[in-house]
């Protein structure tokens, strides 16, 4: 253990050897928290003599738990690594041991989303519901909300009611939400199934109702360690509080600057207020960063310092200097993608494998232009936790509609004939296929010739044929982008996605429309539907590059917990990153934390980029406020942005800040504060005289200061 401790820095060593009481470790990005956690576990076992089975170490993903378990095994050499698991996995252990208390068998079923969807299919069919009443996703969300907030004692129904009583409650329900909720509880009872939230709720119920069981677990778990504490939610916090209630040994590790899951229930206040709720407690600050160069960390520190709801700290670099952080303002998305590809090719030529380069973005639809450029330049890539843009279902469906209009081919007909539903099931499609084979014609021609056949009575085949006939004749003079928009509307495809609540897929279709529009602009008036389909076929028939050496493309959320030698953070525009959906001050702070997470994924090189121009709806694209948050002296601009563009962006951002709900009141004007005047530009306050109602400001572009009324509108920097 002495050798192990010598390899740790002072803060890590303090964390490892602080065994008793409540300990809060604020661990910055790349500061070696996993090493500290695994070393502390080994220290408790090898030095303190604690049995591994008496230690609970909670992580937030099974992957992290497996990695932690392997590290601890390597340090201790012991096959018994105690409870190293997620909250949900731990609750499965509790219920497998004590589920008899709630009349559940040990072999109960843990339900995932696909299991819940299978139950929903049964309920929809039994009670004649459709997706217009409620989508599956909304139904799952409704179950979670009702269980957590509206009917938090639902589990009493599952425990106390007989199967017959639950079934009666289900069949007596009238409102769709009640039908689905009670029907779901009935289906759960039938198979003794519990979903993820049930696991914690049932465990807490057992601990509350059966003090002997609670005390057994409290005594067993002598030491509790929790990783990623900034992501903990209310139920997990309650469970942790109960489990640590006997020995009072609770060790937590987290970083409030990396709270990016509030939409999943995470509450950063649990970390920020830990010392108030668990007293006395010890605080340890780990800020030595082993991952990134000083240049990258300077950018990260400058960015996150703009957040107010945080514990102030600065990451300190351990690595030597690296290249400057490059920032590129492109006139449009095409030029942004071209620049990224050029930088990657230059890195590759200098000996850097493509697999060491990663593109991060806020939303998947941003990849469309990147993929087009990468394919044209034969730059190998792979989408991490996603599908290539032109391989996504909604994009292939939309293009199939265009191909069906242009070519009436069988593949396109088969793909979209029943999307959205037109009652063209297997029996009717088989009829068309047999008719086409016997008459040596296409499926579309077979449909036209068979439209009066009784077999299609009750179907909506006529609507599909009318759609194709309408758009295949008399549309030659229309722009392709207009045809695409009209087809997606007339076919009911976009309405289907709205009914399903698939906003991400709708965003992807909007990006497809943007790509068609840009293609028309670049090609001019001669653009035809056939011309566009030939062009896009180059992207849908993607060549496969060598398996191992590819650029990775992924969202920032997917990159959480990972690190990459070279990071390209693209799409840094207002409305993209930060997302246009952000409506509150707290939401904007979380977006900034997400940008901070993206920046701190980079080890050796960081590239930031933004595309100007206009969106499909005609609105201008401004540089992201997160780019402007960073001290501009820390960035190396490939082409310095126009001063007019930056001024317009700052005005837009200032106006949007005022619209954010929950925005804090502006700090008082005081000497030393940096401000911006709409005419005089930026400057520093020298003096404030409340009696005179005036302030004196030295503006950067003026030799002498100006005395202005306190009523003047100033933007605080």
Residues labelled catalytic: 33-34, 227-228, 258, 601
Q: At what angle do helices 461-472 and 443-450 cross, to 10 degrees?
A: 120
- For residues 714 and 676, give the distance between their C-alpha atoms in angstroms, rounded to a whole number: 6
What the block records as the tokens of 277 is 């709720």
Radius of gyration of the chain (CA): 30
- For residues 647 and 661, give the distance between their C-alpha atoms in angstroms, rounded to a whole number: 24
Contacts of 47 (CB under 8 A, 6+ apart): 1
Question: What SS3 class is residue 281?
Answer: strand
Instruction: Return the bridge partners of 681, or none.
Output: 677
Contacts of 656 (CB under 8 A, 6+ apart): 574
Count of beta carbons in the 10 Å neighbourhood of residue 130: 11
Helices (H), 263-417: 269-272, 274-277, 294-304, 333-349, 367-376, 393-407, 410-416
The residue with tokens 């600057």 is 257
Residue 421, CB-side half-sphere exposure with 13 Å CA sphere: 9
C-alpha distances in Å from residue 389, one per residue of 363, 521, 558, 576: 12, 21, 17, 17
Q: Euclidean distance between the first and final Cα of the chain, in Å? A: 50
Q: Residue 17 in contact with residue 267, Cβ under 8 Å? A: no
Sort strands 381-383 and 602-611 into parallel, antiparallel or unpaired: unpaired
- For residues 691 and 220, give the distance between their C-alpha atoms in angstroms, rounded to a whole number: 67
Burial of 499 (0-12, 13-18, 19+ CB in 10 A): middle
Question: What SS3 class is residue 709?
Answer: strand
Question: What SS3 class is residue 567?
Answer: strand
- For residues 53 and 214, give the distance between their C-alpha atoms in angstroms, rounded to a whole number: 17
Sort strands 109-110 and 193-194 into parallel, antiparallel or unpaired: parallel
C-alpha distances in Å from residue 351, one per residue of 246, 323, 346: 57, 16, 9
- Identify the DSSP state of 715: E
Question: What SS3 class is residue 369?
Answer: helix
C-alpha distances in Å from residue 70, one per residue of 19, 38, 64, 226, 324: 22, 9, 10, 17, 37
Max distance between CA atoms of the chain, in angstroms, equals 96
Q: Residue 512 in contact with residue 398, Cβ under 8 Å? A: yes
The residue with tokens 């950063």 is 268
- For residues 258 and 289, give the distance between their C-alpha atoms in angstroms, rounded to a whole number: 15
Residue 358 is inside which H or E element, if any?
strand 357-361
Q: Residue 93 in contact with residue 83, Cβ under 8 Å? A: yes
- For residues 141 and 147, give the distance between their C-alpha atoms in angstroms, rounded to a whole number: 10
Contacts of 346 (CB under 8 A, 6+ apart): none
* Burial call 100-113: b when 16+ CB within 10 Å, e when fewer: ebbebeeebebbee
Sign (positive or negative) of CA dihedral 57, 62, 65, 70:
positive
Closest CA to 402 of 501, 507, 502, 519: 519
- For residues 628 and 657, give the distance between their C-alpha atoms in angstroms, rounded to a whole number: 14
- For residues 657 and 659, give the distance between their C-alpha atoms in angstroms, rounded to a whole number: 5
């Amino acid at each position: 253990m002495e050798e192990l401790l010598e390899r740790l820095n002072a803060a890590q060593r303090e964390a490892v050897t602080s065994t008793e009481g409540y300990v809060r470790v604020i661990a910055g990005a790349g500061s070696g928290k996993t090493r500290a956690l695994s070393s502390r576990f080994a220290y408790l076992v090898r030095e303190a003599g604690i049995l591994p089975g008496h230690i609970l170490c909670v992580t937030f993903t099974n992957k992290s738990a497996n990695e932690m378990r392997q590290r601890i095994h390597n340090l201790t050499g012991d096959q018994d690594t105690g409870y190293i698991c997620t909250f949900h996995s731990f609750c499965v252990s509790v219920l497998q041991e004590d589920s008899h208390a709630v009349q559940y068998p040990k072999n109960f079923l843990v339900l995932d989303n696909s299991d819940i969807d299978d139950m929903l299919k049964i309920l929809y069919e039994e009670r004649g519901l459709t997706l217009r009443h409620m989508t599956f996703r909304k139904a799952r969300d409704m179950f979670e909300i009702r269980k957590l907030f509206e009917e938090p004692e639902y589990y009493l129904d599952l425990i106390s009611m007989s199967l017959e009583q639950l079934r009666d409650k289900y069949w007596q329900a009238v409102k769709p939400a009640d039908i689905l909720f009670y029907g779901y509880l009935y289906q759960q009872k039938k198979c003794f199934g519990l979903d993820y939230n049930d696991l914690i709720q049932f465990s807490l119920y057992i601990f509350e109702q059966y003090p002997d069981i609670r005390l057994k677990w409290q005594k067993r778990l002598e030491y509790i360690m929790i990783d990623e504490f900034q992501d903990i939610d209310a139920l997990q916090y309650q469970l942790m509080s109960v489990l640590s209630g006997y020995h009072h040994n609770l060790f937590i590790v987290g970083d409030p600057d990396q709270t990016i899951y509030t939409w999943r229930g995470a509450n950063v206040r649990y970390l920020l207020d830990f010392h108030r709720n668990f007293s006395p407690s010890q605080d340890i600050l780990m800020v030595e960063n082993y991952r990134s160069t000083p240049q990258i960390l300077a950018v990260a520190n400058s960015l996150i310092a703009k957040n107010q709801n945080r514990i102030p700290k600065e990451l300190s670099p351990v690595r030597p200097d690296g290249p400057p952080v490059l920032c590129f303002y492109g006139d449009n998305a095409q030029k942004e993608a071209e620049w990224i590809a050029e930088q990657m090719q230059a890195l590759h030529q200098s000996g850097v494998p493509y697999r060491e380069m990663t593109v991060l973005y806020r939303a998947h639809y941003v990849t469309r232009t990147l993929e087009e450029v990468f394919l044209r330049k034969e730059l190998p890539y792979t989408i991490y936790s996603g599908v290539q843009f032109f391989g996504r279902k909604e994009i292939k469906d939309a293009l199939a509609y265009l191909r069906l209009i242009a070519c009436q081919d069988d593949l396109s007909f088969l793909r979209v004939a029943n999307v959205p539903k037109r009652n063209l099931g297997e029996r009717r499609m088989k009829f068309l296929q047999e008719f086409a084979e016997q008459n040596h014609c296409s499926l579309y021609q077979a449909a036209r010739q068979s439209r009066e056949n009784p077999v299609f009575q009750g179907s909506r085949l006529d609507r599909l044929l009318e759609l194709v006939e309408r758009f295949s004749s008399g549309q030659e003079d229309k722009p392709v982008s207009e045809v695409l928009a009209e087809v997606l509307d007339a076919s009911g495809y976009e309405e289907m996605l709205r009914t399903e609540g698939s906003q991400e897929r709708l965003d992807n279709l909007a990006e497809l429309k943007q790509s068609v529009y840009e293609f028309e602009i670049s090609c001019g008036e001669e653009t035809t539907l056939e011309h566009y389909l030939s062009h896009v076929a180059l992207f849908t028939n993607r060549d496969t590059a060598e398996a191992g050496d590819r650029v990775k493309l992924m969202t920032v959320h997917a990159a959480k917990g990972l690190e990459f030698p070279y990071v390209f953070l693209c799409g840094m525009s207002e409305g993209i990153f930060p997302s246009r959906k952000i409506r509150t001050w707290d939401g904007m702070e979380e977006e900034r934390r997400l940008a901070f997470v993206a920046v701190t994924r980079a080890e050796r090189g960081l590239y930031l980029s933004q595309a100007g121009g206009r969106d499909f709806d005609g609105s201008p694209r401004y540089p992201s406020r997160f780019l402007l948050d960073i001290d501009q002296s820390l960035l190396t601009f490939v082409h310095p942005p126009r001063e007019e563009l930056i001024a317009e962006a700052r005005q837009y951002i200032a106006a949007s800040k005022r619209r954010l709900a929950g925005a804090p009141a502006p700090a008082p004007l005081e000497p030393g504060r940096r401000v911006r005047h709409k005419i005089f530009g930026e400057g520093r306050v020298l003096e404030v005289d409340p009696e005179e109602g005036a302030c004196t400001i030295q503006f950067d572009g003026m030799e002498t200061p100006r005395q202005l009324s306190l009523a003047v509108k100033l933007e605080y920097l």
